[in-house]
Structure 1
Amino acid sequence: MSRTAVAGTDQPVDDPPPPVPVPVPAPVPAPVPAFSGALEPDRAALATHSAETERLLAALPPRPLRTPPQQDAAGRLFGTARQTRRAFLALHTDAVYDELTERRTRYPRLRELIRAAAAYFPGLVPTTDQMAAENTLIQAEKDGREVDQAIFCAAVLRSATAGRHLIEAMLRPTPRALELLPGYRAEGRVELASVLVERRGRATHVTFRNAHCLNAEDNRLIADLETAVDLALLDDATAVGVLRGGEVDHPRYQGRRVFSAGINLKDLRNGDVSFVDFLLGRELGYINKMYRGLLTEPGADSWAERTVQKPWVGAVDSFAIGGGTQLLLVLDRVIAEEGAYFSLPAAEEGIVPGLANLRLSRLTGARAARQVILGGRRIGTDDPEFRLLCDEVVEAHGMAEAVERAVTELAAPAVAANRHMLGLVEEPLDLYRTYLAEFAVVQVARSYSEDVLAKVERRWQRSRDRS
């Protein structure tokens, strides 16, 4: 500390101590409103509570710059806001959904539904601008606003009325497929960014072409696959759909076909795996369309009259990991090359393997399903259980011939009707709906959990070091 002289004397004195900073009080969340049960006043109360929460959040730095106490404060704000949304939806889910769909006369897709919810019920879900800002960040730096989207989606799916209607909305053809359909019917070929769709005889062959990442799933591939599935189901000349991975660029598999490496973990780390378009959208979209059919006549009485359904064949080269294996669980015939393997590395990745928890035990039994999902067991062509997941194992050069045999058998007229009836027994619609409601919340929570963020960061760092 420096010393100075007192004016008019030679007596030195200490400088005054620096001012002690006054701690900024942590923002205190507004309490959860006491909702009345009437929609309009509760809508206003939700909007007011949300606006106050956002005002307090705006006073804090962005997540990467927050101190631990500031991050704790942000966590309390988000937590109370989420309690408020849950309380509101517990009273008004069906009324909200009816307003957004004009009493279920409209069939908005998931993204459109959420966008409408943000506009008509302020504070219920994040706005488009809030999501756009969050999507510029890597996963670890986000506040997890997708959790709020999941709360809304789960509430809708829990409702037998709204949930069934949303499922039907997501089973309708996409606008892009309808635009491409005339050309596909005429030419029998459409090239999408990550998928090739081509008709050969009575089959539409859908080939994954995400070559740079071992045909791993990302937002683009999910969108392209839904378009491809729509085209196959809408094309009158197609009786059977075939899924196969194309050749990849990876040095270890250079020039070889690979079925699928599952979710692109690099994209997950970078914050590029969307809850709406990927985590929930793929389950409600193209995978469910393959299993339950494409909804083309919403007003018809029976499900069989309302949908177009066709059998599907999977041709597995090299391996089917994660989402690749999940996909095989809804197919009618699976053919694998000698030496291929299936795995669901959920325990390692830290996330839920889609609907495998619902579907795998039907094929393998409960013990094997737990070994695969909880313990990360890999099942190869030499394992006895492989035949529970696969109908035929062939040498690599015999794959094309085996696929053609399967197409011929499955093109029989009664196959589509019987697969529909099997599906009614194996996975009733309400079982699927209630599973998805829980899955929506659990999966998005896992994608923001500390252990998952640490794992994907380590993998990303290792990949950078190798390059």
Structure 2
Amino acid sequence: MRTDFATLYLEKRDGAGWITFNRPKRLNALDFASKWDLQAALALCVNDDAIKVIAFRGEGRAFCAGIDLTDLSAGLIDERNFRLWEECLRMIETSDKIAIACMHGHALGSGVQLALSCDLRVATRGAKIGVPAGKEGLVPGLSVMRLARFVGLGRAKEIVMWGEFMDGEEAARIGLVNRVVDDETKDEDFEKVVARTVAVATDGVRLTKRAMNEIAYGDFAEAYDIYLQCQRLGLQSGDFAKAMAAWRDRAAAPRSENAA
């Protein structure tokens, strides 16, 4: 099932919600309307129990070239835009869905920020990845916090202060992305990554996402309480019950004398 918005479209299939930015002539740069569309598409995914994974990608030659500088320079983007943008990113982070981004072509500014709010990141070898907001007199959103989680504070400062670009190989080397794929086969390879993630997105994995995100900056007492809360929910889940039933069936099955 496909839902079309003005700046993107959402496809629901095979346990995943595929959100594709669709402003290819603008290299999928995000204007104010794009954020409203993204928020609406996210709500459709978050509130759908059949969706286990949210997958982000871009139509055409780029994943997302960042904020729409044409609108920004014309005074059409103000503080409301940045507030709405962070609301969208928090929706991704706090959702129990596993989020994955495929970064190809230009993946700049807001494109990197969105990818950092995801749980997993895939990049093509030829991707052009960077956070150049400082050069435009802006703070690059809460990527100033998120980026340090993945690459360390020193490296994060280098990336956002110098605003230089890197390719997918370098992004993987420093821990910014999880997987690198060939530009020519990115769609097929990303489909495989999403399918693999859907297959393992049990209640336990999604609770683990929540626990890891909440624990990252908590002290031990907080972390311990959050862990126990999530673990209790995991123990009560249908996925846990099915896994234990399968284990019991396997354990009860007769073994041949030659079994190792």
TM band (smaller chain): 0.7 to 0.9
Given that residues 341 and 380 in structure 1 are in contact (C-alpha distance below 8 angstroms), is that contact kept between their aligned partners in structure 2?
yes
Offset of residue 426 of structure 1? 2.2
Say yes or no: does 1:401 pair with 2:196. no
- Residue from 123, 129, 146 that aligns with 1:359: 146
Say yes or no: does 1:291 pair with 2:87. no
1:41 aligned partner:
none
Offset of residue 236 of structure 1? 2.3
Partner deviation per Cα, 1:20-44 (whole Å, 9 max, x = no partner): xxxxxxxxxxxxxxxxxxxxxxxxx
CA distance in 1, matches of 2:184, 2:73: 37
Say yes or no: does 1:311 pair with 2:88. no
1:434 aligned partner:
none
Q: Residues 3-402 of structure 1 correspond to what in structure 2 (within 5 A)?
A: 188-247=1-60, 257-276=61-80, 278-283=81-86, 285-293=87-95, 309-383=96-170, 386-402=173-189
Residue 243 of structure 1: SS of its match in structure 2?
Answer: strand
- Select the structure with the greater relative contact order (CA < 8 A; seq sep ≥ 6): 2
TM-score scaled by structure 1?
Answer: 0.44
* Structure with the higher fraction of residues in strand conformation: 2
Residue 223 of structure 1: SS of its match in structure 2?
Answer: helix
Partner deviation per Cα, 1:245-268 (whole Å, 9 max, x = no partner): 112xxxxxxxxx311111111111
Unpaired segments ≥5 residues, structure 2: 219-260
Structure with max Cα Rg: 1
- Identity %, equivalent residues: 29
Partner deviation per Cα, 1:319-346 (whole Å, 9 max, x = no partner): 2101111111111111111211210112
Structure 1 265/340 Cα, relative in aligned 2: closer, same or farther at 3 Å? Answer: same
Structure 1 377/427 Cα, relative in aligned 2: closer, same or farther at 3 Å? Answer: farther
Letter in structure 1 aligned against 2:84: G
CA distance in 1, matches of 2:113, 2:89: 9
Offset of residue 386 of structure 1? 4.3
CA distance in 2, matches of 1:385, 1:190: 33
Q: Which runs of 4+ in 1 moved over 3 A?
A: 384-387
Offset of residue 409 of structure 1? 3.2
Given that residues 336 and 394 in structure 1 are in contact (C-alpha distance below 8 angstroms), is that contact kept between their aligned partners in structure 2?
yes
Unpaired segments ≥5 residues, structure 1: 1-187, 248-256, 294-308, 429-467
Count the aligned residue pairs. 215
Partner deviation per Cα, 1:420-442 (whole Å, 9 max, x = no partner): 001012256xxxxxxxxxxxxxx
Offset of residue 205 of structure 1? 0.5
Letter in structure 2 aligned against 1:355: L
CA distance in 2, matches of 1:323, 1:423: 20
CA distance in 2, matches of 1:403, 1:206: 13
Partner deviation per Cα, 1:77-111 (whole Å, 9 max, x = no partner): xxxxxxxxxxxxxxxxxxxxxxxxxxxxxxxxxxx
Given that residues 311 and 416 in structure 1 are in contact (C-alpha distance below 8 angstroms), is that contact kept between their aligned partners in structure 2?
yes
The alignment yields a C-alpha RMSD, in angstroms, of: 1.6
Given that residues 58 and 64 in structure 2 are in contact (C-alpha distance below 8 angstroms), is that contact kept between their aligned partners in structure 1?
yes
